[in-house]
Amino acid sequence: MTLLNDPRTRHRRLGVVVAAAGLLAALLTAGPAAATPDPGDGPAAREQVSQSDAAEAKAAIASGEIPGKDEIVHSDNIEHLANVPKEAFTGLNSDLAFQGKYAFAGNYDGFRIFDISNPKAPKTVAQVLCPGSQNDVSVSGNLLFLSTDSSRNDNSCNSTSQPATEKSSWEGMKIFDISDKANPKYVAAVETACGSHTHSLVPERRYVYIYVSSYSPSATFPDCQPPHDGISVIKVPRNAPEEAAVVNFPVLFPGEGPDGGGNPGAPTNPGVSKTTGCHDITVLPSKDLAAGACMGDGILFSIEDPEHPKVIDQVEDNVNFAFWHSATFNQKANKVVFTDELGGGGGATCNEAIGPNRGADGIYDIVGKGDDRKLVFKSYYKIPRHQADTENCVAHNGSLIPVKGKDLMVQAWYQGGVSVWDFTDSANPKEIAYFERGPLSTDTLQVGGSWSAYYYNGYIYSNDIAKGFDVLKISDRRTDPARWVHLRELNVQTQPDYFD
């Protein structure tokens, strides 16, 4: 089914608007213990929708307006090569990393290693049980890094949940030796303030620096005290990872008082998250730059001295951005795409009620030089297909598709699927390909869909929260030159210089 030139446009009733607004308000005002945004550490929530909304979803499926339950649809230039369902793990699938012929897939229960030497038939090499959301994963050389952002009773892989109000609770970074891909070994752990929701690597020859993003402090959490307006910097000796330690906590949003700096959120800025740390950071080592998506703020900073990152510019969007979630540079480092995770990843925000500018990408040009560089807003991008009110859908994790002279990106949209789009013209982004499944349910809003969709060595790999590991191939004259670019390693939050 090709719908690129025929986007779905279902008309919404007022009741849908009110219901959606109520759900988003509940998600965005949840307390820090609820681990939002992003799905929490427990099982995926199932929100019952109204009978009228359920009937509308079923009618839209019957008419062909949206794909049927679990039905796969895609543009003509996308081919679905493989799907590998979950095996040992029942938790939510999360982020992806790549090295050589291997893909590393995070899951709230641990991580899984795939042999992708044959993309049409990925094979499981290892499954490591190590519970602790989100288990965002990255790799560098013989080391694998795993984020834990749920309060545990200790730092072992046998840990259980324990309230963050207890001083003995643990959250932070875990480090594994993956020199033998079939038998990873847990070698070190580093506790960090407020845990590690996500992390980004700044790799060097002898050391790996890790920027740890975390947020939502509380006066009742002994190890996560407000204002928490910075990031933890961990230094890991490659030859002695057991000596890894926090070496700095740079404050990115200085301010007076217990609330610190950054966006104050509501009631000053209704519907916007208060900045109490960062959600995700993308580094571009070849340019000594990083872009931070920090709840209520987007920042550009210098990492020329990786232990002491320095903020260059800071922007806010108090009209259309609710939660600054992630960032992606273009290859020339004169643009940044920021994502807004409206509703925390659990809301149905890809509908007419929410509109095209919320829960979307914000494209910013970088103008000026050195410390005088500024982020200048140009436009929004959102998938041009409405989803059912039983589908969680919002802008999420993606990567560049490396083509010289073009700014192309593949991106996950949860149950909105995978979108390939062109932002070469910052003011006029457009979709060029897509892949998606129909809703998990027509009666309840269940969390699912593509968490991460990344381009690696000629193929698109997607980690679907519920359905498993997908491999896609795009055949299009605009993206075909990327097939000649091959990397030895890819952590998307550590953007490579693709053409060096």
- Residue 363 phi, psi dihedral angles, 5° rounding: -100, 125
Residue 63 predicted with pLDDT over 90: no
Average pLDDT, the chain: 90
24: pLDDT confidence band, cut at 50, 70 and 90? very low
What are the structure tokens assigned to 346, written together? 């659990």
- Are the C-beta atoms of residues 350 and 391 closer than 8 Å to each other? yes
Residues 6+ apart with CB under 8 A from 444: 46, 47, 48, 49, 390
Spacing of C-alpha 469 from chain mean position: 16
What is the pLDDT, as a whole number, of residue 53? 73
255: pLDDT confidence band, cut at 50, 70 and 90? confident
What is the pLDDT, as a whole number, of residue 9? 31
Per-residue pLDDT tens digits for 362-409:
999 999 999 999 999 999 999 999 999 999 999 999 999 999 999 999
- Are the C-beta atoms of residues 364 and 376 closer than 8 Å to each other? yes
Residues 6+ apart with CB under 8 A from 396: 325, 326, 339, 341, 345, 411, 412, 413, 414, 450, 451, 452
Residue 4 predicted with pLDDT over 70: no
Per-residue pLDDT tens digits for 335-352:
999 999 999 999 999 999
44: pLDDT confidence band, cut at 50, 70 and 90? low
Q: Which of 272, 264, 191 is nearest to 226 (CA)?
A: 264
- Are the C-beta atoms of residues 332 and 286 closer than 8 Å to each other? no
Per-residue pLDDT tens digits for 428-470:
999 999 999 999 999 999 999 999 999 999 999 999 999 999 9
Residue 27 predicted with pLDDT over 50: no
Per-residue pLDDT tens digits for 209-238:
999 999 999 999 999 999 999 999 999 999
Per-residue pLDDT tens digits for 258-317:
778 999 999 999 999 999 999 999 999 999 999 999 999 999 999 999 999 999 999 999
CB atoms within 10 A of CB 142: 15
User: What number is the average pLDDT over the span 59-83?
Assistant: 90
Residue 5 predicted with pLDDT over 50: no
pTM, whole model, 2 decimals? 0.91
Residues facing residue 485 across a β-bridge: none
For residue 178, give Cα distances in angstroms to 145, 266, 269, 473. Answer: 10, 44, 45, 28
DSSP per-residue letters across 227-277? ---B-EEEEEETT-GGG-EEEE--BSS--SSTT-SS---TTTSTT----SS
Decide: helix, strand or coil at residue 304.
coil
- Are the C-beta atoms of residues 485 and 429 closer than 8 Å to each other? no
Residue linked to tokens 């699912």:
448
Residue 132 predicted with pLDDT over 50: yes
| 55 membership: H or E segment, kind and range | helix 51-63
**Residue 265 to residue 344: CA distance in whole angstroms:** 15
What is the pLDDT, as a whole number, of residue 135? 97
**Residue 345 to residue 23: CA distance in whole angstroms:** 12
- Are the C-beta atoms of residues 380 and 363 closer than 8 Å to each other? yes
What is the pLDDT, as a whole number, of residue 59? 76
DSSP per-residue letters across 320-385? T-S-EEEEEE-TTSSEEEEEE-GGGGSSB-SSTTT-SSSSSEEEEEEESSGGG-EEEEEEEE--SS
| 408 membership: H or E segment, kind and range | strand 408-412
Per-residue pLDDT tens digits for 167-204:
999 999 999 999 999 999 999 999 999 999 999 999 99
For residue 381, give Cα distances in angstroms to 323, 343, 358, 428. Answer: 16, 17, 9, 8
Residue 7 predicted with pLDDT over 70: no
Q: What percent of the chain has pLDDT over 90?
A: 85
Residues 6+ apart with CB under 8 A from 151: 161, 162, 163, 164, 166, 169, 170, 171, 195
Residue 31 predicted with pLDDT over 90: no
User: What number is the average pLDDT over the span 89-112?
Assistant: 97
User: What number is the average pLDDT over the span 34-39?
Assistant: 42
For the chain, give percent helix, strand, coil, nearest 5.
10, 40, 50
Residue 359 predicted with pLDDT over 60: yes
CA atoms within 13 A on the CB side of 300: 27
What is the pLDDT, as a whole number, of residue 325? 98
